[in-house]
Structure 1
Amino acid sequence: MNTQNPDILPLGSLPRPASDDDLAARLRTALLTNGGVDAASAGALSVAATQAGADIPSLAVDLTGVELSPREARAARTAAEGFEAARRERGTIGSLTVQAHPVTVVGAGVDLQLDVSGVSFEWVEGADGRLGLAAVEPDEAHPVTGSARVAVPVQAIEAAAERVAAQLAAANGLKLSRLDLRLSPAGANGVAVVVDAQVKKSLLSATVEAGMTATVDDALGVTLTDVKVSSRNPVVAALLVAARSRVERYDGRRIDLVSALPAGIRLADVRVTVGDEVVLTARAQ
């Protein structure tokens, strides 16, 4: 018995879609139901698709104007009814385009452009007559090629950082009253982050400083340096001991992006730029 819920995108009942429009409509419904799409923005979601046998020659998803909640998406997948697979057939998405100019994720506007080819998947036919799609991890024999661009306004990152900092402060018995975040380029392919925050505890008020630099190297690894969390106030510094130890252990650590990817995704280029937006571009070949 196979009862994988999170890995199977439900597409209604068998038989398989009878036309391109039917396939597009089923995919759109599945994304609305399982993708954490806010109901008020559902009308903005657009899906177009073509089919040829087991393959989907083209699939285009436009998320412009859509508001997404990753938490709601996870909840929907967790609550999904068990799916017992009776039959599977492999297919390929010849051309997959996902764009958003922008999509709102957790309150932040994200500009996204994804253009890839050769995405493998499986048609999954359930023992109870249901139909679904399951992603298949790319491998050497079935590589994925293409490019991606993600841009997030610095203001949106600042707002997200303030929410995280408020939670971190509360976990350490403090209240966040102010947070200033500064992002700047660091070398040819890095980002320097400096945080200046004001925290309170009862009548005590003090400044907390934090920062780090993240740099992408030619071997597609990300190294974190100058990682720190500190306060000149000895009382607040003592309260931050646990948080500081968790953060500063990443100083000098290199994260190998290549080894974390499936064999079928071979990154040729990753670039980070900082201005009014933080822009990440990547290419796979």
Structure 2
Amino acid sequence: MDYAMKSFSVLTTSSLSKCVTASASMTQQLLTGRASRPRPFRVTNADRSLKKGIMAYSLADLINKVGESLSVLCVSGLVLDEDGTGVDTEGFFQALPENSVLMVLEKDQKWTPDTVRELWKRTDVARLTFDLYKNNPEDFIGCLNVKATFYGVYSVSYDLRCYAAKKMLKEALRWAVFSMQAAGHILLGSSCYIEYLLQEEQAAKTLSLPQESRIRQLQSMLLGRASQGKPVLVGTAGGSRTTSAPLDGSKKSLNNLAD
């Protein structure tokens, strides 16, 4: 009994209020955590001359970003571009589908129907819409929303999110650089091998040149002796003999020796 009284005394009003506050804050964090992902919307001005894609968490966040991106000083309201329905509550804003087209209105501005769209509805069979937007200003390409509408009633949309486009481009450039380096090494090795073959051929030619120069030197020495009338040693098939032939004969013998 004493233990029960002590336990009951611990549960005062302040402790109970703290527990309730903590549970309420945890519930709010869980609910906001589910809706923490921003959703894409397309916002246009009153005359539909400018349209931009904006990512927003809530209605207040969208209004703040609309004022910055469209350079609107005072936002008086947001309406649906299709029928002019006002978007003034957070619940209605959260119920809107992604990529809904909204119109921002300033002071003394009203929604007007799109006459061009009405003309299109009369003869519209199929319409294909491409919407390119960025979730983060630092994204390389961003996201692409493709929407196809048939007879103005049936619509199909697909949201393509290119988050890793920058990484893929870096990998492609890295492979391109690697291929260029490999091609450079192959060309360098081929040029070195061709140069080596050319040097071997040139060396073979230079080795044959000294033998020809020695023959020419021997011919000049023999011609010099023959012109001075000195005996010249001429080799024959049966041995060698010494002769003092005239100059013309010595030239013929030298030519035969050279041959």
Q: TM-score, normalised by structure 2?
A: 0.22
Q: TM-score, normalised by structure 1?
A: 0.20
Greater share of residues in strand? 1
Question: Does 1 or 2 have the higher relative contact order (CA < 8 Å, sep 6+)?
Answer: 1
